[in-house]
């Protein structure tokens, strides 16, 4: 057989082996997603072109939150260890560990201030916020400790204003801090509701407002960043579904849609950010799905707003949605995947971040 025919057969074999791929977008070919796998004590590096786990990075003790900072730095907090792990990515496929830094308290949620190049660490069991500076590629250095309101132990949300000069902390209450040349200064405090009736699970800043997910009330609170007053409440409960129990949220880059995982009802909800209304509920356990997913948790949007990635804690542990920044175009479930070869060995997955 002529050489070119051998080459053609080999090429066709390679193409057929890629049949599991979804239609690639520009962002899929250039980016990776980082996913926490707490039971494996690892960070999964997901190739967004092939949708396969390219690498498993050892995270240390049980990881709880994951943050992508600037300059290729990755920060991981741990549930059972008072320390933050710091990793460095130079280019796709090249990773190394910078090491660990003591957090003083069991760390919970993390945040990054791009303007001041600071890492913020919320205490998981104390009403404290630790601020670290980043001297080059060395380990973070503790520069300031903020004592939060005593009711704000284990805050669920840390976000900055677009100008990076205001920090918002959400737990049992909502607090605002100003960032100036001297550090962080307390500005406002606002009680969101009765502590035994409300539980904030996540918070975002989008379209000049704060968006807070309330697990106990199945509501999305729209809050003024200036006064910390709730200006609107969006009901998440939908007919035919059990308690939504919102877990995590993500906003697309054009800030037209907010995506929310409902771990109680195994759904993903879509919110119109401009109209502040519910658009769609997608069931991850619909009969049409050959391989369903349950208890979704983490969620992230691709840089071109055409894909939404959802982690799950039962069934198939990764879900890919086809998305659109146009609010008139509904989202669809493209595929459910597993990050292990055996269905019986699929680990529950947590936070997901796209490395942009």
> How confident is the model at residue 7, as a pLDDT?
42
- Give a yes or no: residue 246 inside a domain: yes
- Residue at token pair 């920044």: 325
Residue 99 resides in a domain = no
CATH code (residue 286): 2.130.10.10
Q: How does pLDDT run across 87-141, given as a tens digit for each residue?
A: 998 877 788 888 899 887 889 999 999 999 999 999 988 899 999 998 776 789 9
Query: What's the domain count of the chain?
Result: 1
Residue 8: its pLDDT value, please? Answer: 41
Residue 334 has pLDDT above 60, yes or no: yes
Identify whether 178 is part of a domain: no
pLDDT at 1 over 50: no
Going by pLDDT thresholds of 50, 70 and 90, the confidence category of residue 230 is: very high
Q: Is 38 a domain residue?
A: no
- pLDDT value, residue 289: 94
Residue % of the chain over a pLDDT of 70: 90
Q: What is the pLDDT of residue 25?
A: 53
At 256, is the secondary structure helix, strand, or coil? Answer: coil
Range of the domain at 334: 241-356
pLDDT tier, 30 (very low <50, low <70, confident <90, very high otherwise): low
pLDDT in tens, 251-276: 999 999 999 999 999 999 999 999 99
- Any domain includes 13: no
**305 inside domain:** yes
In a domain, 337, yes or no: yes
- Give the model's pLDDT for residue 195: 64
In a domain, 227, yes or no: no
C-alpha 256/C-alpha 355 separation (Å) is: 21
User: Any residues with CB less than 8 A from the CB of 72 and at least 6 apart, and which?
Assistant: 88, 89, 90
Would you say 212 and 192 are in contact if contact means Cβ atoms under 8 Å apart? yes
Which pLDDT score, from 0 to 100, does residue 27 have? 46
- Tell me the pLDDT tens digit for each residue of 34-45: 999 999 999 999
The predicted structure's pLDDT at residue 197:
66
118 half-sphere exposure, CB direction, 13 A CA radius: 24
């Amino acid at each position: 057989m002529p050489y070119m025919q051998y080459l053609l057969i080999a090429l066709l074999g390679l193409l057929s082996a890629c049949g599991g791929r979804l239609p690639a977008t520009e962002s899929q070919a250039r980016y990776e997603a980082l996913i926490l796998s707490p039971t494996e004590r690892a960070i999964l590096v997901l190739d967004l072109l092939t949708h396969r786990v390219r690498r498993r990075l050892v995270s240390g003790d049980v990881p709880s939150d994951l943050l992508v900072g600037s300059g290729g730095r990755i920060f991981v907090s741990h549930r059972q260890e008072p320390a933050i792990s710091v990793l460095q990515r130079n280019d796709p496929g090249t990773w190394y560990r910078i090491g660990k830094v003591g957090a003083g308290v069991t760390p919970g949620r993390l945040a990054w201030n791009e303007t001041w190049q600071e890492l913020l660490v919320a205490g998981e069991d104390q009403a404290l916020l630790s601020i670290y500076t980043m001297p080059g590629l060395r380990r973070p250095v503790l520069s300031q400790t903020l004592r939060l309101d005593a009711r704000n132990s284990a805050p669920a949300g840390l976000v900055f204003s677009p100008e990076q000069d205001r920090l918002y902390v959400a737990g049992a209450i909502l607090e605002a801090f100003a960032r100036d040349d001297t550090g962080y200064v307390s500005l406002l405090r606002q009680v969101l509701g009765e502590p035994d009736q409300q539980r904030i699970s996540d918070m975002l800043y989008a379209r000049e407002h704060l968006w807070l997910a309330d697990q106990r009330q199945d509501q999305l609170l729209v809050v003024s960043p200036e006064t910390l007053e709730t200006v609107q409440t969006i009901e998440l409960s939908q007919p035919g579904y059990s308690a939504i129990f919102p877990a995590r949220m993500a906003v697309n880059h054009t800030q037209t849609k907010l995506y929310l995982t409902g771990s109680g009802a195994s759904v993903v909800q879509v919110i119109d950010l401009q109209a502040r209304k519910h658009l769609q509920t997608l069931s991850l356990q619909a009969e049409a799905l050959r391989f369903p997913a349950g208890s979704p948790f983490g969620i992230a949007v691709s840089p071109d707003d055409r894909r939404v990635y959802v982690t799950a804690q039962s069934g198939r542990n990764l879900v890919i949605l086809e998305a659109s920044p146009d609010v008139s175009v509904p989202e669809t479930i493209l595929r459910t995947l597993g990050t292990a070869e055996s269905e019986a060995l699929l680990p529950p997955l947590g936070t997901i971040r796209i490395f942009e």
